[in-house]
């Protein structure tokens, strides 16, 4: 798809227009997935982990594979790993729309397990990067293969654990949804109509999400910012926009567990995308010889996920107003990561 050349001002305008379409589509998708979960009697945490996270990760999938085909290692890794801390910060921002700390709402240990597995996979990726992918098979590092296998095992464990109830929290907040109206006509639509609307929203997120990436890259080039810094900041922010709108919308309608699983699930997908990217990247193992910013992005991803893991375990956590202290700490850590990325760019 050829897109005509644009000036910096035109690129910014097109970026904002595409972002608005993605925002509307993501919000609509959150309503649809929430309604489908009720109709098919599926756990909203499972829908967030397997359906919503995959749908909102479509721009990252396309961007990552496209950058890998273009043999742009830095763009692939900075976009994937830089987006992890950003997407966790998105969950923290959605906490401002919740009634109390968002990590107080889960009634099962699913989300703590999601966070633990995410920290584990991030740590494995960091170890592999520091070892330098010493084992290579047909140009693909065994480290990226290991990450893919661990991802499959993690999803299997999470699905198996979803039916378990061996961890029961106490002093739970009111689970009733917020009095936020759903789109008119949604309740009258049939199941087939909701599924088709969901597919249309996914298509819009994919198409306009990719256009956002194109214009983000143009803004980066036309403004003179460095590729590595933009990959971690502007480009990661552009591809994370669907997670932002779906998470905020999910929280506003009271689907807290779906919002949390959406973010943790998206971050897990960011890690497993390393494997197909490694296959398409033919200059050697993609995790070999990475710049310092990649290890830094993984480290900050571990930090923000660990903060939320603590918040999920500690039920009586301090709050600042209506927002949990864990969300405030995640936002502060994310801001610190931006300063660190700029310092090592």
Quote the tokens at residue 40: 């098919």
Band the pLDDT of 181: cuts 50, 70, 90: very low
pLDDT band at 306 (very low <50, low <70, confident <90, very high): very high
Decide if pLDDT at 326 tops 60. Answer: yes
Beta bridge partners, 140, equal: 137
Structure tokens at 80: 């994937």
Find the mean pLDDT for residues 13-17: 87
Report pLDDT for 333.
94
Q: What is the DSSP string of 295-332?
A: HHHHHHHHHHHHHHHHHHH-SS--EETTEEHHHHHHHH
Q: What is the pLDDT of residue 118?
A: 94
* Location of structure tokens 């990590």: 103
As a whole number of angstroms, the distance between CA 122 and CA 280 comes to 22
Q: Where are the beta strands (DSSP E) in the chain?
A: 136-137, 140-141, 319-320, 323-324
Contact 37, 258 (CB under 8 A): yes
DSSP 8-state class, residue 338:
H
Q: Is the pLDDT score of 179 beyond 70?
A: no
Q: Which residues have C-beta within 8 Å of that of residue 172, sequence separation ≥ 6?
A: 104, 105, 107
Q: Tell me: the pLDDT tens digits for 118-146?
A: 999 999 999 988 887 767 777 778 888 89
State whether residue 136 is helix, strand or coil. Answer: strand
pLDDT confidence tier of residue 228, bands split at 50, 70 and 90: low
pLDDT for 119: 95
CA dihedral 268, 141, 74, 330 (to 10 degrees): 30
pLDDT digits (tens, 9 = 90+) for 231-270: 556 666 777 778 888 888 888 877 888 888 888 988 998 8
Q: Identify the DSSP state of 140.
A: E
Mean pLDDT of the chain: 80
For the residues 91-108, what does the mean pLDDT come to? 80
Nearest Cα neighbor of 232 from 345, 92, 333 is: 345
Q: For 108-117, 304-313, 324-333, which range has the lowest pLDDT when averaged over its residues?
A: 108-117
At 109, give phi and psi (nearest 5°).
Answer: -85, 10
Q: Quick: pLDDT tens for 32-55.
A: 888 887 777 777 777 777 778 888
Quick one: what percent of the chain has pLDDT higher than 90? 12
Superfamily of domain 8-170+182-344 in CATH is NCX, central ion-binding region (1.20.1420.30)
pLDDT given at position 184: 47
Is the pLDDT at 274 greater than 50, yes or no?
Answer: yes
- Distance between terminal CA atoms of the chain? 31
Residue carrying structure tokens 């995410």: 118
Contact 315, 169 (CB under 8 A): yes
| DSSP single-letter state for residue 102 | G
pLDDT band at 171 (very low <50, low <70, confident <90, very high): low
CB 81 within 8 A of CB 300: no
Domain boundaries, the chain: 8-170+182-344
For range 9-21, the mean pLDDT: 86
pLDDT classification of 177: cutoffs 50, 70, 90: very low
Q: Give the least confident one: 95-109, 176-190, 245-259, 319-333.
A: 176-190
């Amino acid at each position: 798809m050829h897109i005509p050349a644009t000036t910096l001002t035109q690129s910014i305008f097109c970026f904002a227009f595409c972002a608005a379409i993605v925002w509307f589509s993501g919000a609509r998708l959150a309503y649809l997935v929430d309604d489908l979960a009720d109709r098919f009697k599926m756990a909203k945490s499972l829908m967030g982990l397997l359906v919503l996270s995959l749908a909102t990760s479509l721009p990252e999938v396309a961007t990552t594979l496209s950058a890998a085909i273009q043999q742009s290692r830095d763009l692939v890794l900075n976009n994937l790993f830089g987006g992890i801390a950003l997407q966790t910060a998105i969950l923290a921002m959605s906490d401002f729309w919740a009634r109390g700390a968002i990590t107080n709402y889960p009634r099962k240990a699913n989300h703590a397990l999601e966070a633990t597995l995410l920290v584990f996979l991030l740590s494995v990726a960091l170890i592999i990067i520091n070892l330098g992918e010493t084992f290579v098979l047909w140009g693909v590092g065994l480290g990226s293969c290991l990450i893919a296998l661990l991802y499959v095992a993690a999803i299997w464990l999470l699905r198996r654990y979803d039916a378990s109830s061996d961890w029961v929290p106490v002093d739970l907040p009111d689970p009733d949804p917020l009095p936020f109206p759903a789109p008119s006509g949604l309740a009258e639509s049939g199941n087939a109509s909701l599924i088709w609307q969901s597919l249309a929203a996914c298509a819009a997120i994919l198409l306009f999400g990719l256009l956002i990436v194109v214009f983000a890259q143009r803004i980066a080039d036309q403004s003179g910012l460095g590729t590595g810094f933009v990959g971690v900041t502007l480009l990661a922010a552009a591809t994370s926009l669907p997670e932002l709108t779906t998470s905020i919308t999910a929280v506003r309608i009271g689907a807290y567990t779906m919002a949390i699983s959406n973010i943790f699930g998206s971050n897990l997908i960011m890690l497993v995308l390393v494997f197909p990217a490694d296959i398409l990247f033919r200059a050697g193992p993609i995790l070999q010889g990475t710049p310092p910013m990649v290890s830094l992005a993984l480290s900050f991803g571990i930090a923000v996920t660990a903060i939320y893991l603590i918040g999920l375990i500690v039920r009586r956590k301090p709050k600042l107003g209506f927002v949990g202290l864990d969300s405030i700490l995640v936002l502060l850590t994310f801001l610190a990561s931006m300063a660190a990325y700029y310092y090592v760019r």
